[in-house]
Amino acid sequence: MNREHRYLFIAAGLLAGILCLADSALAQGPSVIPAPLSVVATPGVLKIEDGAIVSYEDGDSKARFAAEHFVTLLQRTQGLRLVAKGIHPGTLSTALIAIMKNPPAASIPQNEAYDLNVSPKQATISADDGAGLYYGTVTLWEMLTATKATHGPVELQCVRIHDEPHMHWRGIMLDSARHMQSVEFIWQLIEWMSLEKLNVLHWHLTDDQGWRLEIKQYPKLTEVGGWRQLADVTATTNEEAVKSHRYGGYYSQDEVRKLVAYAAQRNVTIVPEIEIPGHASAALAAYPEFGSSDARLKAPVSGYGIFPNLYNVNDSTFTFIENILTEVMQLFPSTFIHIGGDEAIKEQWESSPKIQAQMKQLGIRSEDELQSYFVKRIDTFLTAHHRRTMGWDEILQGGLAANATVMSWHGVQGGIEAAKQGHDAVLTPVRPLYFNYRQSDADDEAPGRFALNTLSDVYAFNPTPAALTGEQRKHILGIQANLWSEYVVTEDRDAWMLFPRAAALAEVAWTPSDHRNWKDFSKRLVTEMRRYRALGIGFDPAAFRVRSAETLEPNGARVTVRLSNQLDFGTLRYTTGGSEVTASSAQYVGALDLPLPVHLRAATFLEDAIPGSQLDRQLNARSVRMRYSQDLKLCSNEPAIAMEPDPPQQDRPVTLVNYKNPCWIYKAADLNGAKGISVGVLSLPYVFHDRNDAAPILGAPRTANREVEVHLDACDGKLVATLPLDAAVGHAGVSPLRAELENMTGVHDLCLKVVRPEVNPLWSLDWVQLEPLQEKR
């Protein structure tokens, strides 16, 4: 079939240095993420210098944006100053750069495909739509920034690339309801997403803790529902004296319109989420008449968990929701409107005589069917307005609405079930696509859920379930990662949790499985992280960072050190005198036997040091017997969170704690010569709501109020130390406590557990230190 194309040519003209060289470097493909569908190396090199022209057809606004964006991006990250220039269609045949316009019919979805051809004379990008043209410029930008040099001309290897996405939903969900991000950060995130060829920002705008979207008809949604009280971090024994501060805000409709337009230029669709029928506390605090309980909320909830507050099923309530959705649709042109539908505890419906009577009148036999009725009614409304309903996989309960699409988060089974029923689905399973889970178990990791969703876990995810037939798999629209913000409270934390896992997500969604290669991706990711730094993206280098495990020798004068990184990737190099680690530093090949004290530095190398991979440790007889909370084993894993105060404070670090059972195990503690034990403790407000009302483990304090108990070998083993917490009460920072140890020898596990009479505050360990008999200096 003959097809017209848009063309974007990038040529250096007289500035191009033509070198007819075979390109062996492209045998493994260019350093591009996600990996292109087809790459064919061709002879030659195109040299691009300052002043090269990037031209496009006059009057084509999408081509113009792609060209100008490319020029700006390249100058920002590589220092090259190119010139974007419009060309009259009549001169396309002779132009250095040209675009031939072939806009798709409105009823045909854009396919995002592009071709990129680099010859010794020019680089050409062609596409049928603006999305493909944009992605072609992104790929060319990646190729031009694959060099380690940050300024000056770039020699681009000649190549022919044809590329198109494997899946058309490549998304990230950002939770702005629990903790709100600035408009400026969201602008940045949209840009960063588009450079990974991610194309959906699912925006979680309402929840129990906050309503973040201005609705003109119902101003109290933001005036009341947009603000909550956060407990102060300072522990106190007097609950009435606990301080709090007001937290919240919202996005104006003008801000939203600008964000939507900005995203559309970068081929990112913003899909709004308005939660129903549960996760509705903020809305019902503002308009309690639409709730199912006579007990009226005065403000959004300030804790986290699953709350029972549901909308009622009166006609006036549906009018309220439909009026909200009408304004939402005016702001967001996305095909899909996400309505939540998850974690709706039915207690209020079960206990309401009025709702039970309505169920009987409607012929509804269960509360699950009532939820289905609720969703179907909203689905009918959205369908009438030419939109599609999307909800979490709980909308399958009681029967799926006719036009609903399922977002499967309880594993992939919900997506499989929807596809078998002929419904579309997006896969976003908790493991491994919840990016509020930690990326490593290192002691300097950011806050997040206890379990690990590592970079390699994300890359290994299979987005095409084997349980589906070929036809059924067509209903799997794509995949999405979710960043819930209960414990990810700042924008730098948001970026840290998203990147570089977003790169792995992008490749899984864009590149077919038979074109993906984990080892090759890892190498390309090193280059991608250099781009992150040039763009100002704060990312987590946990996968490449060098970690050390130290064992003190019996005489206390030497230490055995083992180095590793999470991916077992690259070459580890080190120094022991505190000097900078370079490519000529000693290579790590096995355990190091070092005298104490020693200043150990190390890094992971792939030609050069990988960004963020450095280790810097001052080792002495004390430091090798110190463990942070994230180095310790939890006595029970669930529910456990690495968390920090809200808002964060400099002297209030991230600690890992099971909030129902604050108890840790120091594995294989060398007690020989240990004369004492010190711990650093801090308090956090207890902000957890358990729908099962499972009681936390408190214990019976042996001292006046509360303490940390230290037991030998097991948590019911011999009590060897008691550290009262009274000195830490009222102190905002980490409080050090110390106790003597008598006649301790050998290697033993130590169980450290908090015993207290009350749930609030939550006491957590920051660190534990075995005090040596005599420190070697």
Active site residue 670: no
pLDDT score for 149: 65
pLDDT score for 75: 93
pLDDT score for 99: 44
Q: How far apart are CA 487 and CA 648, in angstroms?
A: 10
Q: What does 311-323 look like in DSSP terms, one character per residue?
A: B---HHHHHHHHH
Phi-psi region of 639 (alpha: psi -120 to 50; beta: other; left: phi over 0): beta
The residue behind tokens 């067509």 is 474
Instruction: Identify the burial level of 695 via C-beta atoms within 10 angstroms of its C-beta, where 0-12 means exposed, 13-18 middle and 19 or more buried.
Output: exposed
pLDDT score for 20: 31
Q: How far apart are CA 265 and CA 426, in angstroms?
A: 24
pLDDT score for 265: 97
User: What SS3 class is residue 110?
Assistant: coil
pTM assigned to the model: 0.94
Q: Which two tokens stand for residue 93?
A: 């045949």
Q: Which two tokens stand for residue 537?
A: 């993206």
Cα 725–727–728 angle (5° rounding)?
70
Report mean pLDDT in 10-residue bins for the chain, 777 residues: 45 38 48 96 91 86 93 93 82 44 47 89 87 94 85 88 96 98 98 98 98 98 96 60 81 98 98 98 98 93 94 97 98 98 95 95 95 97 98 95 96 97 98 97 92 97 95 97 96 97 98 96 96 96 96 88 96 97 97 97 95 96 94 92 86 90 95 92 89 76 87 96 91 91 90 92 95 58
Residue 551: which of 441, 674, 676, 670 has the closest Cα? 670
pLDDT score for 240: 58
pLDDT score for 556: 81
Sign (positive or negative) of CA dihedral 42, 45, 48, 52: negative
End-to-end CA, the chain: 79
Give me the catalytic one of 5, 202, 204, 279: 279
Active site residue 343: yes
Beta bridge partners of 107: none
Q: How far apart are CA 464 and CA 667, in angstroms?
A: 41
At 723, phi and psi to the nearest 5? -120, 100
pLDDT score for 373: 96
pLDDT score for 28: 55
Cα 418–422–423 angle (5° rounding)?
50
Give me the catalytic one of 57, 175, 207, 445: 207
